[in-house]
Structure 1
Amino acid sequence: MENSIIDEKIINDLLPQKFGKAGKIWVALLTVVCLIGLFAYYRQIRYGLVVTAMRDYVSWGIYISNFVFFVAISLVGSLITAIFRLAGVKWGSPLTRIAEIIAVAAIIFASLIIIVDMGSPERFYNLFTHGRIQSPIIWDVIVITTYFFISLLLLYYPLLPDIKILLRYKEKSGNRMHKFYSYIGSFWKGTPEQFKLSEKAINILCVTIIPVAFTIHTVTSWLFATTYRPGWDSTNFGAYFIAGAFLVGSGAVVVAMYVFRKAYHLEKYITENHFEKMGRVVVLLSLLYLYFNMNEFLTPFFKMKKSEEGYLNGLFSGDFATVFWFAILIGMIIPIIILLFKSGRKPLPMFIVGVMVIVGAWFKRYLIVTPTLLHPFLPMHDAPASYHHYFPSWEEWAITMGSLAGALLIITILARVFPIIPIQETLTEEHEKAI
């Protein structure tokens, strides 16, 4: 009887909650930003890429920076769900659904922003009809598509036991949502055979997604490293991208943990212990990424080849120095200093650190793209003055902000539709503690 009461309390705590006033304002704000981005994209389709600030030299601008950022955040699904699950990390269970939702939202907009960067959307079709296997671009399309479907399945399979629970609470979910839950999960009866089959499928997906996740970031790095440019001519790029992706993905999970904990009153399920342990993960990943940054810049700095001199000077003391040092300090060094202290691994400081890591990571991706393109091996001759500089047009900013808002909107809606913390797993853990 006591167990039944506890189970009912846990289920009521973790059921999806309807938007309050603040939630509705948040959704409305994100929708407005998305609509502004859609209007800017309409202008880009109508008038062409001339509405952007991209030209012959900076042919990859803020769109590709945003693409790399989304791809990086999507890695969190394989980190929290796959690696933690396979390593038997039990404390990570309440965070798996958050990580899976972030991964799905990020990989969706990573794909969309590539289509935006192409100019005319029908060009995406040409990748499949005229794609060449010799090109890293077609490899990127293949691994992103594969990663998206694996991430979607990793979100869906663990949801099935929770959907069975949601179907029992029709009065709380409403007729429309009840029909939706029935459509996607009414076949789940919760038999031992189904649980065994589901567990096997999830383990296979976890094993599969790790090499795919490493591949997606390695191939993305090859898009740069196989392009003969100062700053990209590096064999370090694969590991450099993966380390950065693990860091920003963990930062995104920390921010989501704090927001959902506050908004849905989940203090009993996302505890200070979770922030403590995630703080240790983040500081380890920050140190690792800082090492790869030092390796990435110190090696060419000591050699100081003439072709890379302008690029390095621009980063360390030139036009991009403010952004560069901002990204290094805010995205890595200050978070490391904060997280080395136990008080820095409390929920609020961790939230601030998570925001710093995400913001620093976005600017870091901007720095990977733009300074290199402005410093080609062959110096610019007889080029208009505007070609020597790049600052995104309002259309580029609007589309970029719209894509970021779109990813947040997907996360918000999925958190409204599905339990943000796995209910069945939480019940099972409580039963195991009681034995």
Structure 2
Amino acid sequence: MATSEIKRGDPGIDPKTGEFRVVGPGETFKSVTEKISSIVLTPHTPLGWLAFFGIAGAGATMLLVAVTWLFLKGVGIWAISQPVAWGFAIINFVWWIGIGHAGTLISAILLLFKQTWRNSISRFAEAMTIFAVVCAGMFPLIHVGRPWLGYWMLPLPLTMNVWPQFRSPLEWDVFAVSTYATISVVFWYVGMIPDFGTFRDRSQSKVGQYIYGMLSWGWRGSIRHWMRYETASLLLAGLATPLVLSVHTVISFDFAVAVLPGWHTTIFPPYFVAGAIYSGFAMVLTLAIPLRKFYHLEQLVTERHIDNMGKIMLATGFIVAYGYGMEAFMAWYSASHWEAFMFWNRAFGPMGWSYWVLVTCNLAIPLTTLWSRKLRTNISFMFLISIIVNTGMWFERFVIIVTSLYRDFLPSSWGTYRATKWDYMTFIGTLGLFTTLFLLFVRFLPMIPMNEIRMLLPAAKIKPKATAGAGD
């Protein structure tokens, strides 16, 4: 690429258009490359990174201890019982799958719609998707009680003639999540190939040159390579786009195909998808705001990105609010005694406090504040909102699962639900595992796509100083 002496962009408001610029002042082709490469290629790991990695590693160790004890003792160490046969395992499964949705939407749908503002956040959003799926994928395996028989969920031609029950939505989850994970990993890796070529050329160590050279698959930055790269990106985006809708729709079928009041409803598929995007963008904000501060990326992840993500959260938040309203309306309009009692018990029963935490975190606070552009571009406020929404979306899954199960059709079988320390350790452990994987990604891989950011810089008024190879 050719470097430029021209300073481009403005992190503030463009006086002509009134919109936020994409990149900050002084950003050139070379400065973007150096800023992102220096995070990975530096021989000195920041002390702050090491401190957070130690905390996250402790959480991942907690998960290892909890899962090991689970395998030794069985699912009885959890709080699941009759009638609450599903507990934290399925709550966390649905929550983690939802968090991964924003990465696919940013990388696939916004790419197809040519939304260039996505470029600065697409890479770590895709990484977030993969690590969230890793955390989610283990719960269907461990909650069945016999994880060593997990391969039975695959349609293998076994000599025992043991085949999966394809009419079960739990089996549909296996295919939906595995497909989602596969496309996400391929899309993520293909997008990093040009940046691996840059790291290969800029690395000062032989080990780094060898590893990044192997990962770059001989990338030279030729016209033929770029054409194939663009074609592959569009094809993968086209494959990933239906998954944004299909994956959480299939997850919702775990509940919608049941005959239980509160679950047996057609609103669940779109309601789950909107909720997944809502919580997914909240997690992107939770990750992006500390990263831009810690690595001084304010000129690349600008206020415009925070503002746009706030707008998407506002839109999906109202779809979620519509879903909540429809649940109340259908409980009344159905004239079903069971549905009416379910909703009353969900809001005012012994565990009604969880419902009002949900309403406060998902509706009352975000939907009354995100209208303000001043608040949407307030970095500290948006970080707080992202934490609140993620908390509320976890409680949404808690309410859907627990408060629909603990009082079913027969009063004689009513019970309650109190999570055990092993439930909490497993959940906190997945947070540690997710953070550990994300920190490793930030340290050793390009968290912002350099090639896409360079494309945002205007091509006009460029005065070439020198012609360089893929390493510039």
* TM-score normalised by L of structure 2: 0.87
Structure 2 matches for 1:81-230, cutoff 5 A? Answer: 81-128=107-154, 129=156, 130-171=163-204, 174-230=205-261
Deviates more, 1:136-145 or 1:64-73: 136-145
- For 1:370, give the aligned amino acid: V
* 1-structure distance, mates of 2:453, 2:206: 26
* 1-structure distance, mates of 2:207, 2:428: 31
Percentage of pairs with the same residue: 24
Deviation per residue, 1:101-123 (Å, 9 max, x gap): 11111111111122121222113
* 2-structure distance, mates of 1:419, 1:220: 31
Q: Tell me if structure 2 keeps the 8 A contact 1:74–1:104.
A: yes
* 2-structure distance, mates of 1:155, 1:39: 31
CA shift for structure 1 position 266: 0.2
1:12 aligned partner: 34
Query: Which among 391, 409, 412 is matched to residue 359 of structure 1?
Result: 391
User: Structure 1: which 4+ aligned runs deviate by more than 4 Å?
Assistant: none
- For 1:252, give the aligned amino acid: M
- For the pair 1:242 / 2:270, whether they are aligned, the reply is no
Deviation per residue, 1:269-304 (Å, 9 max, x gap): 111121122221211111121112211232214445
Query: Which among 271, 276, 282 is matched to residue 251 of structure 1?
Result: 282
Query: Which among 60, 76, 80 is matched to residue 34 of structure 1?
Result: 60
CA shift for structure 1 position 167: 0.8
1:409 aligned partner: 436
CA shift for structure 1 position 225: 0.9
Query: Which among 363, 379, 393 is matched to residue 420 of structure 2?
Result: 393
Secondary structure at the residue paired with 2:4?
helix
Give the alignment's Cα RMSD to 1 decimal. 1.8
* 2-structure distance, mates of 1:57, 1:433: 67
* 2-structure distance, mates of 1:186, 1:225: 45
Deviation per residue, 1:50-93 (Å, 9 max, x gap): 11111131111011000001111111122111111111111111
Deviation per residue, 1:140-177 (Å, 9 max, x gap): 11111111010001111110111111112212xx4444
Cα 1:367/1:3, change in 2 over 3 Å:
same
* 1-structure distance, mates of 2:5, 2:449: 18
Secondary structure at the residue paired with 2:147?
coil
- For 1:232, give the aligned amino acid: W
Deviation per residue, 1:198-245 (Å, 9 max, x gap): 111111111111212311111110111112111101011101100101
Deviates more, 1:308-317 or 1:397-406: 308-317
* 2-structure distance, mates of 1:415, 1:63: 28
CA shift for structure 1 position 434: 4.6
Secondary structure at the residue paired with 1:432?
coil
Secondary structure at the residue paired with 2:365?
helix
CA shift for structure 1 position 4: 7.6
Deviation per residue, 1:379-432 (Å, 9 max, x gap): 143x5xxx7111111111111111122112211211111121111111222253
Structure 2: gaps of 5 or more residues: 7-27, 157-162, 463-472
2:77 aligned partner: 51
Q: Tell me if structure 1 keeps the 8 A contact 2:362–2:389.
A: yes
- For the pair 1:419 / 2:450, whether they are aligned, the reply is no
2:21 aligned partner: none
Q: Which has the higher helix share?
A: 1
* 2-structure distance, mates of 1:218, 1:69: 14
Q: Tell me if structure 2 keeps the 8 A contact 1:310–1:375.
A: no
- For the pair 1:374 / 2:406, whether they are aligned, the reply is yes
Secondary structure at the residue paired with 1:58?
coil
Query: Which among 23, 31, 41 is matched to residue 49 of structure 2?
Result: 23
CA shift for structure 1 position 189: 1.8
* 1-structure distance, mates of 2:77, 2:335: 37
- For 1:428, give the aligned amino acid: M
* 1-structure distance, mates of 2:113, 2:327: 30
Cα 1:380/1:434, change in 2 over 3 Å:
farther
Secondary structure at the residue paired with 2:269?
helix
Cα 1:263/1:313, change in 2 over 3 Å:
same
Secondary structure at the residue paired with 1:119?
coil
* TM-score normalised by L of structure 1: 0.94
* 1-structure distance, mates of 2:148, 2:459: 54
Give the count of matched residue pairs: 428
* 1-structure distance, mates of 2:325, 2:376: 25
Q: Tell me if structure 2 keeps the 8 A contact 1:230–1:372.
A: yes
1:320 aligned partner: 351
Cα 1:177/1:313, change in 2 over 3 Å:
farther
CA shift for structure 1 position 320: 2.3
* 1-structure distance, mates of 2:448, 2:460: 18
- For the pair 1:66 / 2:82, whether they are aligned, the reply is no
